[in-house]
């Protein structure tokens, strides 16, 4: 699932999820975060792990980034917005992400919108993780 994949890490924070994907064989990861401190942390973590050449760090909020990607697609999205993220905004966000496979992380259960199927759902303490696939049209 990850080997050779292009990965989109939204609300990347420290970049831990995308860096994990790169360490497991992803071909490239795009990290999106609007906060300067997060961008610096991602870049430092990429240097420390020797994975900088297979990564792009984008300084943008997620909504603006998604509005500008056009027809570009990724193989996998890692979506871990701030825990206060509005549930209705989750549904819109998931539908706008240009992928067919996504890992969703939240402090509450997340049900993907119509057109997505849950492959796996697991709770780890207060964290809910859902792996979802866009259903073929």
- Domain ranges within the chain, ordered by starting residue: 6-134
The pair of structure tokens assigned to 60 is 């943008």
Note the Cα 51 to chain centre separation in Å.
17
81-127 pLDDT, tens digit each:
887 767 677 778 888 999 999 999 988 888 888 899 999 999 999 99
DSSP H helical ranges for the chain: 16-23, 36-49, 62-67, 87-96
* pLDDT, average across residues 17-41: 97
d(CA 57, CA 46): 10
The larger pLDDT score, comparing residue 51 to residue 114, is at 51
pTM above 0.85, yes or no: yes
Residue position matching structure tokens 């905004």? 89
- Cα separation of 15 and 7, whole Å? 12
CATH number of 6-134: 3.40.50.150
Phi, psi angles (nearest 5°) of residue 59 = -90, 95
| Residue with the two structure tokens 């990290």 | 31
């Amino acid at each position: 699932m990850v080997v050779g994949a292009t990965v989109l890490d939204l609300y990347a924070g420290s970049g831990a999820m995308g860096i994990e994907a790169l360490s497991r064989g992803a071909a490239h990861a795009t990290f999106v975060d609007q906060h300067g401190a997060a961008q610096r942390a991602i870049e430092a973590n990429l240097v420390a792990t020797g994975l900088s050449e297979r990564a792009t760090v984008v300084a943008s909020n997620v909504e603006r980034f998604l509005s500008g990607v056009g027809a570009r697609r990724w193989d996998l999205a890692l979506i871990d917005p701030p825990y206060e993220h509005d549930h209705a905004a989750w549904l819109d966000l998931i539908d706008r992400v240009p992928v067919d496979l996504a890992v969703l992380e939240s402090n509450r259960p997340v049900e993907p919108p119509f057109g997505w199927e849950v492959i796996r759902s697991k709770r780890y303490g207060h964290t809910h993780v859902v792996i979802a696939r866009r259903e073929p049209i």
